[in-house]
Chains A and B, each alone.
Chain A
Amino acid sequence: MIETVLFWVLAAASVASALGVVALRSPVGSVMALLAAMLATAGLYALMGAPVLALFQVIVYIGAVLVLFLFVVMLLDLKGTTARGRPSARAAAAGAAGIGLTAAAAWGAWKGFSQAAPVGGLRPAPGISEIAIDLFGRHLLVFELTSVLLLAAAVGAVFVSRTKKRRPS
């Protein structure tokens, strides 16, 4: 009972803040709304019996990614760079196209979903030790490759955002 109530509260919060990401005019407001959406999603993870995911969500997404976004928003003076136009018919059509694409993908997934075997009752969620054994056992190669990806991303980010030093002539 309490689980259902919590689910609906968190779902409403995440949808409302996701709408805020799209609708808010200032980039700082959008980042803050995304922060609220991430927090609501972390709550949903905890509700679903995945506290590790909830922790990672808070540490990685909110602690690292969103802070990076905030840094960039503060770093770039974005005044006057946002479009001031009111929503046009073109924007409405673009939004409808996005929702339609998602609906088409969801419809295809739902057709496969309805043919799948029924899920059955709820069993205890996998614990952290099972996840760790799986991550460092079967998925060890992928795990190691991710570290290479992160290194490449770090080097690439530094390379892209470097400033050219003018040589004294």
Chain B
Amino acid sequence: MSLEHVVGLGIVLFAIGAAGFFVRSNALVLLLCVELMLNAVNLILAGFSRYLHGTDGQVFVFMIMTVAAAEAAVGLAILVALCRLLGTLDMSRINILKG
């Protein structure tokens, strides 16, 4: 296990999350894909923290986890409001911002 291995795994996970974000149309799964991408970045930061012997990487991971928790709370509240308003979470059918 070297730094390249960890960074490579993080990149693969991020790519899966990004592809899923573009492919799926369920808004809930989109939020899950965002969490997946944040997780991949956390993994890369922890890897750098391990191999450069710094504490900064782990502090950044704490901050990212906090922001992810806040993002999940607000995003899920928006999803609940959206589902109550429109009765669907299918992003291909939600086009109320279209002028």
Query: With A48-B46, A81-B88 in contact, do A76 and B80 touch (Cβ < 8 Å)?
Result: yes
Report the minimal beta-carbon distance from A94 to chain B, rounded to whole angstroms: 4
Are B77 and A98 neighbours in the complex by a CB distance under 8 Å? Answer: no
Are A157 and B74 neighbours in the complex by a CB distance under 8 Å? Answer: yes
Are B69 and A83 neighbours in the complex by a CB distance under 8 Å? Answer: no
Query: With A72-B76, A153-B70 in contact, do A102 and B62 touch (Cβ < 8 Å)?
Result: no
A interface bracket (residues with beta carbon within 8 Å of B): 35 or more
Answer yes or no: A166 CB below 8 A from chain B CBs: no
Q: How far is the CA of A152 from the CA of B70 in the complex (A)?
A: 9
A interface list, Cβ under 8 A from B:
3-4, 7, 11, 14-15, 18-19, 21-22, 27, 30-31, 34, 37-38, 41, 44-45, 47-50, 52-53, 56-57, 60-61, 64-65, 68-69, 72-73, 75-76, 78, 81-83, 87, 91, 94-99, 101-103, 106, 113, 119, 122-126, 130-131, 134-135, 139, 142, 146, 149-150, 152-154, 156-158, 160-161, 163
